[in-house]
Structure 1
Amino acid sequence: MSGDEMVCSGGCHCGAVRFEATFSEGFASIRRCTCSYCRMRGAVVAMAEMGGIKILQGEDALTTYRFHTGTAQHFFCSRCGIYTHHQRRSNTNLYAVNVACLDGVSPFDFAEVPVMDGVNHTNDTGQPTRRAGTLRFIPAD
């Protein structure tokens, strides 16, 4: 693991679900995605490796959603509906964690967030993942 490894605590909106996530690259892996589901969800995520998410409370409150190929498994609090994390389709050894669920972190903390081309998913095209653009946040004065 690199020197950028960090452990963050987080949870859903209502507090039913609490977890701890270990990010081996800190927030160097943040991103958004253009697939139909991520477009609607709008979350900024950071990557945790398999075993890097520990549910501390409320595992019974988590529910899942799968679509298209059914490979990616998206986790939500069944009480407040907040998306906490998902197991990725392109690399099932990685979990994408919603940074807005991390204690003391906001998606608006990042001036630029890479946006990946999920419409033309690497598992569908056989091509490397393409960067579709960059989402920028410019605070008002």
Structure 2
Amino acid sequence: MTIRASCHCRATQFEVAQAPATVTSCNCSFCSKRGGLWAYYAPTQFKLLTARDRISTYQWGSYIGQHHHCAICGCGTYSEFPSFDTGEQDFDNPRIAVNTRLFEIFDLDAVPVEKVNGRDDW
């Protein structure tokens, strides 16, 4: 079940290969201000449908993550990170975190929300 997503102005569009089983709400300084609910995918499960030059990127701290947003309307769209599945940074297995609030024709309220304490744990 492919799910399409777009920013507010629709200049940035992407799709993911399947619905998330859960979404993550993080209270770190960045996520709490951005307000997204995040689902995580392998790069093969994510397809950017927009020209890359329509997307802006923000990096901070250790610069291992790339946080993308629409260059026109500013909506936070997706981020790219190494996997942290083993507790360590695994650059051989990157992950895409997508803002599920941008999903089209999808009942986000039906998906369980996992809370992450990024403010204290990172």
Give the structure-2-normalised TM-score. Answer: 0.80
Aligned AA (1:11)? S
Q: Percent identity?
A: 29
Question: Of the candidates 58, 81, 90, which is equivalent to residue 65 of structure 1?
Answer: 58
Alignment of 1:1-141 (within 5 A): 6-23=1-18, 26-88=19-81, 91=84, 93-105=94-106, 107=108, 109-110=109-110, 112-119=112-119, 120-121=121-122
Structure 1 moving runs of 4+ over 2 Å: 88-92
The total of aligned residue pairs comes to: 113
Q: Which amino acid aligns with 1:27?
A: P
Q: State the structure with more CA Rg.
A: 1
Higher RCO, Cα 8 Å, sep 6+? 2
Using the size of structure 1 for normalisation, the TM-score is 0.70
Greater share of helix residues, 1 or 2? 2
RMSD between aligned alpha carbons?
Answer: 2.0
| Amino acid in structure 2 at the alignment position of 1:74 | H
Cα 1:47/1:111, change in 2 over 3 Å = closer
- Unmatched tracts of structure 2, length 5 or more: 85-90
Conserved in 2, the CA contact under 8 Å of 1:65 and 1:73?
Answer: yes
